[in-house]
Amino acid sequence: MKIDHLGIATGGIQEALKFWEDALGLESVHVEEVEDQKVRVAMLPLGESRIELLEPLSDDSPISNFLEKRGGGIHHIAVQVEDINASLAKLKQAGMKLIDEEPRVGAEGCLVAFVHPKSANGVLLELVQKI
Ligand code: ZN
């Protein structure tokens, strides 16, 4: 396994890029709207991993909620797995609380599923399987 990306909640990607791109020197290589999750995402490669900047597309986006409560910051950690269905089955068998029982299509067409923070020490964990 490896860390696929760190998801960071922002009020606006353009504004956030002033830090991550202009000042820090990373490069946004991919911007996409994921309608299903009501977010716009920007991917910035960083070593083997990426920073994923998240911006809400509407007031009922999960990111809007997070921004209201916490005002931005690390939203989730995404781990790349070989077989997402096998990982979900294993977690379920271990009694872990899942947000997604079945994988869905996330950014870049990957299969993704979220594990509830209650089962992961307060961290929202995203499983990602590359297609
Ligand atoms: Zn993510």
Collect residues with CB below 5 Å from ion ligand 1.
7, 52, 78, 126
The whole model's pTM is what? 0.93
Task: Provide the number of structural domains found in the chain.
Answer: 1
**CATH number of the domain enclosing 11:** 3.10.180.10
Residue-by-residue pLDDT tens, the chain, 131 positions: 899 999 999 999 999 999 999 999 999 999 999 988 899 999 999 999 999 999 999 999 999 999 999 999 999 999 999 999 999 999 999 999 999 999 999 888 899 999 999 999 999 999 999 98
The Å distance, Cα 93 to ligand 1 centre, comes to 24
48-61 confidence digits (pLDDT tens): 999 999 999 999 99
- For residue 14, the model assigns a pLDDT of 97
- For residue 7, the model assigns a pLDDT of 97
Domain encompassing residue 99? 2-129
In whole angstroms, give the CA distance from residue 127 to residue 110.
10
The Å distance, Cα 5 to ligand 1 centre, comes to 6
Cα dihedral 30, 61, 100, 73 sign:
positive
Dihedral angle of Cα 87, 90, 91, 92, to the nearest 10 degrees: 120
- For residue 36, the model assigns a pLDDT of 85
The Å distance, Cα 6 to ligand 1 centre, comes to 7
The Å distance, Cα 106 to ligand 1 centre, comes to 8
